[in-house]
Amino acid sequence: MGTFKHILWRVLNIVPVLLVVSVLTFLVGRLTPGDPIEAQFARDHTPEQVEVIRASYGLTLPLWQQYAKWVKDLFTAGGGLSIAQGQPVFDILLPNFANTLILTAAGVVICAVLGVVIGVIAGINHRRFPDRFAMLFVQTGSNLSVYWFGLVLIWIFSLWLGWLPVAGMESRNGGGFGDLLAHLVLPGLSAALISTLVLARFVRLGIVQESHSDYVRTFASQGVPRRRLVGKHIGRNILPAVVNIIGLEIGTLITGVIFVESVFNWPGIGTQLVNAVNGKDYPLIQGGVILVALCYLVVNLLTDVTVDALNPRLRR
């Protein structure tokens, strides 16, 4: 019952945070120079014409009225109409957001699998060749720009070897799950790059540290096999921390995904937000930020709940 109450409390906490986020994104857009109408029309319309167009979008109303209308639109009108594309904001953002989640999910899987594998290999071979080699790889990788890494992957695997597609989610006559997977490989790898290496380092360190702890020495002296020791005891002890790191890395992944989306032309929310900011498309920017913020909050919540469940010491 206590756990349930705790989760409910956390869920309720999301509401005021979203409220603050909504006010901030609204104000940041309005109080910085430039507006979407001027940006699009000033070049070939007189200031009077620009003003009429601005009024037709309700952008000449007092700020609080604009805010109130937007909040109402969030619940009733799909987040309002995008100024540039003239379609409801959530009609534009939700499919893109789903695509970003697909890419992020692929990134998380790659990050979790590769990160743990590299970390474990390095950790159990501490200061031996596999460890040195893995750490060179990690060190090198951490210094790559994701953007550059993505382009190199395209050159090698798409243009040179011709194995994988360059851009988007769908081939010319494509469709289907296999086609999607083929399109996911390179962006997934690029998106996961940095997080994988962070995680690998973390797992390695965890194993090294735990290996020196008293209980491991005791078990080892009693003849518990090494495999069992790493898998069951050390693993169990560092697992909550690993989940925590992965949870945090999802945040990094979503941010990093914006670059990856640009390089691989993945039709995700990052590209949309960059477009929206470039044109100062208020409803689109605001809707997008709310979605991303909501996503962060939910991921954080899920991470906390999972960590609680995995770590008996945090249960009360």
**Strand partners for 54:** none
Site for another protein in 39-58 (CB under 8 A): 39-47, 49, 52-53, 56-57
- Our finding on whether 60 is near another protein (CB under 8 A) is no
For another protein, give the closer residue by CB, 206 or 279: 279
Stretch that binds another protein, among 200-208, 220-228, 272-280, 291-299 (CB under 8 A): 272-280
Among 79, 115, 268, 283, binds another protein (CB under 8 A): 268
DSSP 81: B
Q: Contact at 8 Å (CB) between 115 and 189?
A: no
What sign for the dihedral angle of Cα 19, 22, 25, 26?
A: negative
Helix (H, G, I), strand (E, B) or coil at 88: strand
Max Cα-Cα span within the chain: 87
Among 3, 140, 213, 218, binds another protein (CB under 8 A): 140
The CB-of-74 to another protein minimum distance in angstroms stands at 17
Site for another protein in 87-106 (CB under 8 A): 87, 91-92, 95-96
The alpha-helical segments, DSSP class H, found in 57-145 are 63-76, 89-124, 129-142
For another protein, give the closer residue by CB, 274 or 310: 274
For another protein, give the closer residue by CB, 81 or 124: 81
Site for another protein in 190-219 (CB under 8 A): 194
Round to whole Å and give the CA distance between 84 and 38: 12
The CB-of-9 to another protein minimum distance in angstroms stands at 36
Among 18, 105, 144, 224, binds another protein (CB under 8 A): 144
- Our finding on whether 259 is near another protein (CB under 8 A) is yes
What single string gives the DSSP state of each residue in 219-234? HHHTT--HHHIIIIII
For another protein, give the closer residue by CB, 175 or 231: 175
Q: Which amino acid is at 301?
A: L
Round to whole Å and give the CA distance between 215 and 206: 14
Round to whole Å and give the CA distance between 259 and 268: 11
Stretch that binds another protein, among 19-27, 66-74, 85-93, 296-304 (CB under 8 A): 85-93
